[in-house]
Amino acid sequence: MLSNYLKLALRVLTRRKFFTFISLFGISFTLAILMLSISALETELGSNAPLSDRQEMVFLDRLVQKNMEQDTTMLVDSSLVDGIMKFDTTYTHERVNKGTSISSFGLPFLQDHVADLDVAEKYSFYATGETFNSFVNETKVEIEAAYTDHRFWDLFDFQFIEGRPYDEQMVNSGATVSVITEKLAQRYFGTTKNLLGREVEMAGKSFKIIGLVPEATQMLLQSDMFVPSSTKAGYPGSRDEYYGRYAAAFLARNGNTDLLKHELNKVAESIPANSQFNAFMLQGKTSKELYANQMMYSEDPESAARWMTFFVFALLSLFALLPTLNLVNLNVSRIMDRSSEIGVRKAFGAQGKDLMAQFVFENIVLTVIGGAIGLLIAIGLIYLINDARLMESLVLQVNMRFFLYSMILVLFFGILSGLLPAYRMSRLHIVNALKQNRS
């Protein structure tokens, strides 16, 4: 039966060239754009190195400090009783927030409060996002540096092309060593070969290269050069000031991120007051929540993540819905054009479900062909985008998961756009269907 359907589907497609062209054009371009979106999401949010364990990680990027003070508010309520104005005064004694500060962390603060969490299997403290200018042969090279501890390399699985990461002893001794990305190597030296032992000038210091890694595709870890945190000016920083440039990442024991977040909340309650603030919040975030929070700040990162997921799916669904509706419309007229065939098939014993299966199958064949073309277009676009570095820091990837998502998308598209017309057609009255005269 299926081979028969396939034969017929291919015949119909080759015979109705214009319809086929219009359909394939719509399907392939829509799918190409959707696949490109999936690729961007997968590259940024999927579990790829160096963030392979991201589903089990909790990130701590902001310290919320509040100055809570006991305050009294007076509320006067008036009402007219028997022509006489009566006043009712209420005093409320409560702790109110007199000032909030949100910032990243000072390194000593992290070391003092979150270095020994029960639920954290691994952790790392690091500062990213500082940019320095270096000059190579009188040409400016901008370097985005990350100051990290040695645990950084255990937590994030960077794939070393050459060399190795720095160890605890190097960090403790303030060794001016570095791990650089291929991207920086290319910009700084014009090559990615034989770089171990050479030096990069940054922030007035010379850092010896001991490792070479590919650039991380995820924005979260996109730095050009990684150096020990002990080489940072002003290291380690004041114990009294809680804020600084650092963030923390933890690997939750047994992947239990909720428990880890809970432990962070508990730690926050026990943080002693400093000169300005007396109440603190340590909001641990999953990687998804971290992204969502960067896009829309919310006191509740979980709700921000839910909104982001909803927003992304709504946007993609809307984008998929328009061509699907168009395709449904095209399919209805295409199938109704074949009503004589439907009448004949029913007369000779086809049931509604047989016809549904046939027309949905035909549509799946059409969308799979469209999907294959769309996939080729998407791959082409990804290479073009990466090559021209159109998305600056984001390097899009094509991988097996990307193919899988794309195929699911194609099948969903095929079934959705075929189902409604197939259902309508299967309900067609035989006698009416046969009145369409075609041979």
Partner 1 sequence: MISIQNLSKVYRTKTIETTALNNINLNVPKGEFLSIMGPSGCGKSTLLNIMGLLDEPTSGKVEIDGQSMPNYNSKSVARFRNKQLGFIFQSFHLIPDLNILDNVELPLLYAKVNRKERKRLSEEALESVGLRNRMQHFPGQLSGGQKQRVAIARAIVGKPQIVLADEPTGNLDSSMGNEVMDILLRLNQVLETTIVMVTHDANMAKKTDRLIRLYDGTQIQ
Binding site for partner 1 (CB under 8 A): 1, 3-4, 7-8, 11-12, 15, 340-341, 343-351, 354, 430-431, 434, 437-439
Q: Nearest to residue 287, comparing CAs of 223, 218, 351?
A: 218
Question: By C-beta, is 9 or 305 nearer to partner 1?
Answer: 9
Question: By C-beta, is 23 or 406 nearer to partner 1?
Answer: 23
Using DSSP's 3-state secondary structure scheme, residue 65 falls into strand
Name the minimum Å distance from CB 372 to partner 1.
22
Question: By C-beta, is 419 or 434 nearer to partner 1?
Answer: 434
Name the minimum Å distance from CB 411 to partner 1.
24
Name the minimum Å distance from CB 439 to partner 1.
5
| 207 in Cβ contact with 200 (< 8 Å) | yes
Q: Nearest to residue 230, comparing CAs of 103, 121, 125?
A: 125
Helix (H) or strand (E) holding 246: none
| 289 in Cβ contact with 62 (< 8 Å) | no
Name the minimum Å distance from CB 337 to partner 1.
11
| 106 in Cβ contact with 91 (< 8 Å) | no
Q: How many angstroms separate the Cα of 118 from the Cα of each of 54, 232, 252, 382?
A: 19, 29, 9, 43
Name the minimum Å distance from CB 356 to partner 1.
13
Question: By C-beta, is 181 or 339 nearer to partner 1?
Answer: 339
Question: By C-beta, is 10 or 372 nearer to partner 1?
Answer: 10
| 267/113 Cα distance (integer angstroms) | 7
Number of alpha carbons in the 13 Å side-chain half-sphere of residue 433: 19
| 155 in Cβ contact with 50 (< 8 Å) | no
Rg over alpha carbons for the chain, rounded to the nearest Å, is 31
Using DSSP's 3-state secondary structure scheme, residue 245 falls into coil
Question: By C-beta, is 195 or 369 nearer to partner 1?
Answer: 369
**Alpha-carbon 122 to chain mean position:** 23
Name the minimum Å distance from CB 344 to partner 1.
5
| 364 in Cβ contact with 418 (< 8 Å) | yes
Name the minimum Å distance from CB 348 to partner 1.
4
Question: By C-beta, is 44 or 362 nearer to partner 1?
Answer: 362
Question: Could you give the angle at the alpha carbon of 35 between the alpha carbons of 31 and 36, nearest 5°?
Answer: 120
Residue located via tokens 């870890």: 221
Name the minimum Å distance from CB 423 to partner 1.
15
Number of alpha carbons in the 13 Å side-chain half-sphere of residue 326: 14
Question: By C-beta, is 279 or 430 nearer to partner 1?
Answer: 430
Question: By C-beta, is 11 or 95 nearer to partner 1?
Answer: 11
Using DSSP's 3-state secondary structure scheme, residue 118 falls into coil
CB burial of residue 434 (10 Å; 0-12, 13-18, 19+): middle
Longest dimension (CA), the chain: 96
Question: By C-beta, is 58 or 350 nearer to partner 1?
Answer: 350
Strands 57-60 and 247-252: antiparallel
Name the minimum Å distance from CB 410 to partner 1.
24
Residue located via tokens 């850092």: 207
DSSP letter string, 312-352: HHHHHHHHHHHHHHHHHHHHHHHHHTTHHHHHHHHHTT--H
Name the minimum Å distance from CB 403 to partner 1.
32
Question: By C-beta, is 300 or 337 nearer to partner 1?
Answer: 337
Name the minimum Å distance from CB 359 to partner 1.
13
| 86/78 Cα distance (integer angstroms) | 6
